[in-house]
Amino acid sequence: MEQLCTHKLPVDIVFHPSWWNKHTGIVFDEDFFYNPLRRVEDERRMEQELHDRFGEYGLGADYDKDLPQIGAVHLAAGYLLSEMLGCNIEYTANSAPQVICAHREGFDVDEEAAFQSPAFKKLQHLIEELKAKYGYVCGDINWGGVLNLAIDLKGESILMDMIMEPEKTKAYFAAIARVVERFFTYIYSETKTTSISVNRLARLLDAPLYLHSECSHTMISTEDYHDYLLPIDVEWSMKYRPYGIHYCGKDPHRHAENFAKVPHLDFLDLGWGGDVHLLREALPNTFFNIRLNPVELNSYTRSELEGIIKERVMQSKDPYQTGICCINMDDKVRDEQVRAIFDIAEECRQTLFKD
pLDDT tens sequence across 10-21: 999 999 999 999
Percent of the chain beyond pLDDT 90? 95
CA-based nearest residue to 36, from 143, 131, 165, 167 = 131
Is the confidence at residue 259, as pLDDT, over 90? yes
pLDDT at position 355 is: 58
Supply the DSSP string of 41-86, one letter for each residue: HHHHHHHHHHHHHHGGGTTTTTTT----BSS-TTS----HHHHHTT
First to last CA, the chain: 22
Give the pLDDT mean for 330-343: 96
- 152 vs 350, which has greater pLDDT? 152
The torsion angles phi and psi of 86, rounded to 5 degrees, stand at 120, 0
pLDDT tens sequence across 186-236: 999 999 999 999 999 999 999 999 999 999 999 999 999 999 999 999 999
Is the confidence at residue 275, as pLDDT, over 70? yes
pLDDT tens sequence across 20-76: 999 999 999 999 999 999 999 999 999 999 999 999 999 999 999 999 999 999 998
89, 100 contact by CB (below 8 A)? yes
Is the confidence at residue 353, as pLDDT, over 80? no
* Model pTM score: 0.95
Give the pLDDT mean for 156-171: 97
11-352 — its CATH code? Answer: 3.20.20.210
For the four alpha carbons of 98, 102, 107 and 111, in that order, the dihedral sign comes to negative
Q: How many helices (H) and strands (E) does the chain have?
A: 15, 8
pLDDT tens sequence across 139-161: 999 999 999 999 999 999 999 99
Give the count of beta carbons closer than 10 Å to the beta carbon of residue 133. Answer: 12
For the four alpha carbons of 130, 136, 142 and 143, in that order, the dihedral sign comes to positive
